[in-house]
């Protein structure tokens, strides 16, 4: 279902984000992400260069190489269009996340290693949703494994998001021993403080 029509507006900016997952022949996996920003009208850069309408202001790609446990074995970043030539130098900083694992807290790790003057804002930002893309790409492989349990012996997926709330049907069908009735009206949803990234 599309968003409702919104009259009297003119598009001025388009950000396109695309992510793809691949299985490699050596048993590793690759997650490729790309972000492209364009303007609907020509824009003059600080250098005096005029970028035509529709020409990329940013065109950046990142590849994460991960194993089945979502440990990062390699990261490659490519910058094909930027507003400043120096921006391309930030691609090398991305290697700071090699050895990290995609899991709850991924956003904080990425920001701590690449935030501010340490890296490129746009390359760093694309890494954050790439975690979810990695989870989705490897879901069939990871779902075939025994459930990962928390310190209480419950699968970590329970209460990790709306659909996996302990009182919902997904938990009732998959883990009936961990299903619990819905909270009373007005009570907070269970798992409200669950991590908000990289757990889907």
> 71, 164 in Cβ contact below 8 A?
no
What integer pLDDT is reported at residue 195 of this predicted model?
A: 42
Which residues form the domain of 173? Answer: 147-200
Q: CA-CA distance, 124 to 48, in Å (whole number)?
A: 27
The answer for 29, left when phi > 0, alpha when psi is -120 to 50, beta otherwise, is beta
Kindly state whether residues 170 and 194 are assigned to the same domain. yes
Q: What is the pTM of this model?
A: 0.76
**Residues 16-61 pLDDT 10s:** 999 999 999 999 999 999 999 999 999 999 999 999 999 999 999 9
Kindly state whether residues 96 and 17 are assigned to the same domain. yes
Give the residues of the chain that fall short of pLDDT 70. Answer: 146, 187-200
The answer to the question of residue 4 being in a domain is no
């Amino acid at each position: 279902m599309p968003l409702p029509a919104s009259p009297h507006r003119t598009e001025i900016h388009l950000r396109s984000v695309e992510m793809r997952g691949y299985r490699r022949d050596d048993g590793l996996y690759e997650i490729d992400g790309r972000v492209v920003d364009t303007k609907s009208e020509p824009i003059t850069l600080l250098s005096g260069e005029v970028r035509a309408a529709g020409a990329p202001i940013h065109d950046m790609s990142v590849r994460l190489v991960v194993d089945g446990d979502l440990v990062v074995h390699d990261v490659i970043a490519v910058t094909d269009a930027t507003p400043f030539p120096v921006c391309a130098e930030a691609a090398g900083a991305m290697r700071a996340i090699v050895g990290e694992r995609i899991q709850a807290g991924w956003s904080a790790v990425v920001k701590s290693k690449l935030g501010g003057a340490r890296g490129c804002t746009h390359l760093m930002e694309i890494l954050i949703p790439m975690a979810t893309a990695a989870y989705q790409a490897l879901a069939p492989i990871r779902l075939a494994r025994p459930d990962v349990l928390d310190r209480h012996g419950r699968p970590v997926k329970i209460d990790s998001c709306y659909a996996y709330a302990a009182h919902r049907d997904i938990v009732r069908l998959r883990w009936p021993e961990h299903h619990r009735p819905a909270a009373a009206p007005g009570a907070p949803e269970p798992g409200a403080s669950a991590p908000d990234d990289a757990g889907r």
